[in-house]
């Protein structure tokens, strides 16, 4: 009799423990859904770099003579700009285009006739000190550059303004995600994916039209070319994919 009571008690205890284990380790069913939100910010900032494109254009009756004259004047332009860089200014010079093409007469006969050659050597100069842009233009034109293709003002990728705009876009995207989660009576569990949108920076370009200079007449004017940068619209876009428990 006593043994049977003990067995019953032990069986009851085992059943209780088994029931408790089932409750503790029961599968929890979460209703998870993913939502995608976008944050877009736009701020006005001052540019930190000017990009100027110069060209040296020469003509000659022979391709070699046109090329040699162009090489001489291009080297003078490069030296003049690099002299400013050696004075402590942050200036980067690189060749952006080079072209040698024949000049043809289409009206003297049935077949076009080559009457000469034109050589165009284009150089792009990046200037970090915007106060030196006018001086760079003057130095290049005095040295032999006879065409300024244009000026664009940009913000460097490592500029704090870029990071500020990106942070603002991220906060905006998270605010949208939280608002959607609250509307669904849920909560954000985690951020699954983040993508930075490729929204370009708008550039201010007051010199968008090509300017052609005669280096012989600008050498002794005594004036400095005025350049005003203005402001840029820096835009950043962030796409977030978040997981919401509802």
* CATH number, domain with residue 78: 3.30.70.2970
Q: How many domains does the chain have?
A: 1
Q: d(Cα 142, Cα 218) in Å, to the nearest integer?
A: 6
* Mean pLDDT score, 154-166: 78
- The answer on pLDDT for 219 being more than 50 is no
* Mean pLDDT score, 227-237: 80
Detail the DSSP E strand segments found in 90-174: 91-105, 113-127, 147-154
- The answer on pLDDT for 147 being more than 60 is yes
Q: d(Cα 64, Cα 19) in Å, to the nearest integer?
A: 97
DSSP 3-state assignment of 156? Answer: coil
- The answer on pLDDT for 23 being more than 70 is no
Residue 195 lies in a domain: no
Residue 90 lies in a domain: yes
pLDDT of residue 34: 87
* Mean pLDDT score, 185-195: 88
pLDDT interval class at 246 (50, 70, 90): confident
Residue 78 lies in a domain: yes
- The answer on pLDDT for 20 being more than 70 is no
Range with the poorest average pLDDT among 10-24, 83-97, 209-223: 209-223
Residue 189 lies in a domain: no
What is the overall mean pLDDT for the chain? 79
Q: How far is CA 128 from CA 134, 137, 162, 200, in A?
A: 12, 14, 16, 20
Range with the poorest average pLDDT among 7-11, 35-39, 150-154: 7-11
Residue 24 lies in a domain: no
DSSP 3-state assignment of 95? Answer: strand
pLDDT of residue 195: 85
Structural domain span for residue 133: 49-155+207-230
Residue 43 lies in a domain: no
Residue 20 lies in a domain: no
Note the pTM of the prediction, 2 decimals: 0.61
pLDDT of residue 217: 40
Residue 245 lies in a domain: no
- The answer on pLDDT for 1 being more than 70 is no
* Mean pLDDT score, 21-27: 56
């Amino acid at each position: 009799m006593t043994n049977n009571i003990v067995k019953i008690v032990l069986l009851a205890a085992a059943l209780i423990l088994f029931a408790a284990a089932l409750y503790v380790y029961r599968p929890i069913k979460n209703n998870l859904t993913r939502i995608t939100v976008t944050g877009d910010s736009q701020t006005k900032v001052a540019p930190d770099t000017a990009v100027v494109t110069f060209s040296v254009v020469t003509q000659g009756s022979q391709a070699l003579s046109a090329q040699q004259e162009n090489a001489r004047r291009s080297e003078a332009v490069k030296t003049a700009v690099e002299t400013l860089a050696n004075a402590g200014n942050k200036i980067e010079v690189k060749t952006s285009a080079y072209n040698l093409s024949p000049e043809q007469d289409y009206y003297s006969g049935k077949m076009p006739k080559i009457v000469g050659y034109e050589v165009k050597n284009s150089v792009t100069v990046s200037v970090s000190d915007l106060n030196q842009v006018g001086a760079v233009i003057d130095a290049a034109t005095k040295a032999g550059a006879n065409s300024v293709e244009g000026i664009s003002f940009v913000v460097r990728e490592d500029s704090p303004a870029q990071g500020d705009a990106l942070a603002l876009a991220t906060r905006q995207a998270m605010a949208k995600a939280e608002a959607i989660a609250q509307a669904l009576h849920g909560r954000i569990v985690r951020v699954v994916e983040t993508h930075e949108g490729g929204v370009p920076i708008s550039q201010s370009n007051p010199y968008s039209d090509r300017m052609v200079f005669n280096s012989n007449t600008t050498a002794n004017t005594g004036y400095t070319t005025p350049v005003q940068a203005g402001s840029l619209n820096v835009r950043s876009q962030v796409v977030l994919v978040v997981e919401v428990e509802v």
